[in-house]
Amino acid sequence: MSDYDPLLTVESVSKRYGDERVLNDVSFTMDRGDVTVMMGPSGSGKSTLLRCVNRLTEVDSGEIRLGDHRVTDPGIDVDALRRDVGMVFQDINLFTHLTALKNVTLGLREVRGFSTDDAREAATEQLERVGLGDQLDSYPGELSGGQKQRVGIARALAMEPELLLFDEPTSALDPELVGEVTAVMADLAAGGMTMLVVTHEKGFAREAATDALFLDAGSIAERGPPAQLFENPENERTAEFLDRVSTVSGEP
Amino acid sequence: MLPGTGVVGAVAVGSLELSIRTIAQLGSDTCGSLPPDVAFVCENAGYLAGGLVLTIALTIASLLVGLVAGFPAGAIEVYGGRYASLAVEAVGTVFRGTPIVVILIFAYFVVPITDWFPIQRVLPVGGAFVAAVVGLGLRSAAYQSQLFRGTLQSVDEGQMEAARAVGLSKLGAIRHVIVPQALRRSVPGFQNEFTIVLKDTSVAIAIGLAELFTRSQDLFVQRTTAVTEVILLISAVYFVMTFGTNRALEYLNDYYAIPGEST
């Protein structure tokens, strides 16, 4: 047991907003290279949990550790933690006044201290990796939703994070654009990136995830390999929810 | 807002003065053939032009004071601590709630403004000019702070989150992400402020500063039959200036617009 050294440890994390319990004693771990998808109904605490991992939200109690970072320790250098955790947002949040390239170089230059040339080179490489080598000088307003989200992924990747967080990365996209984003994500997963993904894309989960969590009312109701969770959910709420998601996405 | 605004202003004022002197010289030779009241205005065109130079200098200086004091004030109201933003808000409320003529008289006759801001020692300007710049400038700062407060707040919260998630500090995020977007959105509001300050320079008549409006009054008091001609002329001059700068700022707004975004 003493040899077991997970990358991410979430231990008895609880969080409430006013009277509402958003997270209730949540615990799980992730190893390097794990791809964990989190599913669950709206308001089940998925996004809150994700945001606790990079301290965009503070926990009320419990502990989170990421590598050497004691995430929930109030005294830590939050900027240093965030250098090691990338985040991809539901509403994408590209810097609207900057080109695709500069969206990626900003962090490289200002946070990682790259020179202009080095940042440009590294950013170009990341944008090529997500298939946008020909859109370096486009502004977010000139890109499609799927292209924007791929820039968002490149921006997070460029910081060479140990863990990438995805907060419903495709739910703001038109259905026909979802595929290009999940394809990039599956590619990253295959390349060994550690990813914690809030999504309802069962196709992506089946193909790329090592692990699926089902959150219900702030607690982990069920956890297991995606195939097992989808085919034979043990929990009644899980079954019900997955059924509804399938009806919407038209997937069997 | 733009680097070099001061230099451009100085050059513009200088070349304006030169061309006005030439016009005035030509004018006084040819004014004789005009109707008497028009001829009177024509002969004194050089005198009015001197006032115009002062009006332009006063406008530019006041707007710069307003920008330099107003932008940080707006930023403090958005990002500052509770007490800092309360203090800034209180000062702003006083300046916005006081008539500009009262502010100018206060600045010139009540407080020893030229001791506090001894600009007259480094630049060839008088005490009334210093008082007018401070009064108009601080009043403009009080309004510009609200302009910048609004545009800073208008930047989506997700922009700050995304910047912080990349690892930028709060200050870094403000500087590299929030401010560049907020400044672009401030140009239309700044257009209004420019127009207001330019027109309100005429209030400096209350402290006897020899700007365009004060000089026009000198003229129509001297020759009361020419009041229509004088007032029509300076109205046209004010209009051309506000119209011209508004068009220039519209161009600036289009130039700095973010591609793909509706403005």
Give residue limits of the domains in chain B: 5-255
Q: Distances in Å between the alpha carbon of A14 and those of A43, A54, A73, A216, A219?
A: 14, 15, 15, 14, 9
Answer yes or no: is A151 within a domain: no
Q: How far is A190 from chain B (nearest CA, A)?
A: 23
CATH number, domain with residue A85 = 3.40.50.300
> B161–A56: do the CB atoms touch at under 8 Å?
yes
In this structure, of A83-92, A229-238, B81-90, B144-153, the range with the lowest mean pLDDT score is A229-238
Q: Is A220 helix (H, G, I), strand (E, B) or coil?
A: strand
Provide DSSP, A109-139: HHTS---HHHHHHHHHHHHHHTT-TT-TT--
| Residues A210, A98: Cα–Cα separation, whole Å | 35
CB B114 within 8 A of CB B130: yes
In this structure, of A13-27, A121-135, B4-18, B186-200, the range with the lowest mean pLDDT score is B4-18
Task: Classify burial at A239, counting beta carbons within 10 Å of its beta carbon; exposed 0-12, middle 13-18, buried 19 or more.
Answer: middle
CATH topology of domain B5-255: MetI-like fold (1.10.3720)
Q: What is the mean pLDDT of residues A93-106?
A: 97
- Residue B160 neighbours by CB under 8 Å, 6+ apart: B170, B173, B177, B178
Q: What are the counts of helices (DSSP H) followed by strands (DSSP E) for chain B?
A: 12, 0
Say whether pLDDT at B41 is over 70.
yes
Dump pLDDT digits (tens) for A201-217. 888 999 999 999 999 98
Dump pLDDT digits (tens) for A150-205. 999 999 999 999 999 999 999 989 988 999 999 999 999 999 999 999 998 888 99
Write down the residue that tokens 């195939």 correspond to. A227
Say whether pLDDT at B211 is over 50.
yes
What's chain A's average pLDDT?
91
CB B213 within 8 A of CB B50: no
> B165–A87: do the CB atoms touch at under 8 Å?
yes
Q: Which long-range contacts (CB under 8 A, 24 or more apart) does A66-75 make?
A: A66/A7, A66/A8, A66/A9, A66/A162, A66/A163, A67/A7, A67/A162, A72/A13
Say whether pLDDT at B5 is over 60.
no
Which residues on chain B place their C-beta less than 8 Å from a C-beta of chain A?
156, 158-159, 161-169, 172, 176-177, 180-181, 184, 258-261
Residue A14's domain spans which residues?
8-94+164-249
pLDDT band, very low/low/confident/very high, at B1 (cuts 50, 70, 90):
very low
CB A119 within 8 A of CB A155: no
Write down the residue that tokens 């403090």 correspond to. B76
pLDDT band, very low/low/confident/very high, at B120 (cuts 50, 70, 90):
confident
Tally of CB atoms within 10 A around B10:
12
Interaxial angle between packed helices A100-110 and A145-157, expressed in degrees from 0 to 180 and rounded to the nearest 10: 20
Q: Of A12-21, A238-247, B175-184, which one has max mean pLDDT? A: B175-184
> B166–A107: do the CB atoms touch at under 8 Å?
yes
Which of B181, B193, B195, B179 is closest to B71 using CA atoms? B179
| Residues A164, A187: Cα–Cα separation, whole Å | 13
Across the interface, of B166, B181, B259, the residue whose CB is closest to A141 is B259
pLDDT band, very low/low/confident/very high, at B114 (cuts 50, 70, 90):
confident
| Residues A173, A146: Cα–Cα separation, whole Å | 7
- Helical ranges in chain A per DSSP H: 46-53, 78-83, 100-110, 116-129, 145-157, 175-190, 202-208, 226-231, 236-249
Which residues on chain A place their C-beta less than 8 Å from a C-beta of chain B?
54, 56, 79-80, 82-83, 85-87, 89, 91, 93-97, 106-107, 110-112, 138-143, 155-156, 159
Number of domains observed in the structure of chain A: 1
Which of A161, A158, A164, A170 is closest to A132 using CA atoms? A158
In this structure, of B30-34, B155-159, B170-174, B185-189, the range with the lowest mean pLDDT score is B30-34
Q: What pLDDT shows up at residue A71?
A: 94
Q: How far is A223 from chain B (nearest CA, A)?
A: 28
Chain A positions touching B162 (Cβ under 8 A) are 87, 89, 93-95, 155
In this structure, chain A runs to a length of 252
Answer yes or no: is A127 within a domain: no
| Residues A85, A156: Cα–Cα separation, whole Å | 8
pLDDT band, very low/low/confident/very high, at B23 (cuts 50, 70, 90):
low
Task: Supply the DSSP symbol for A43.
Answer: T
CB A140 within 8 A of CB A151: yes
Which residues on adjacent β-strands are paired with residue A10? Answer: A28, A64
| Residues B96, B79: Cα–Cα separation, whole Å | 21
Pairs across A and B, CB distance < 8 A: 78
Answer yes or no: is A144 within a domain: no
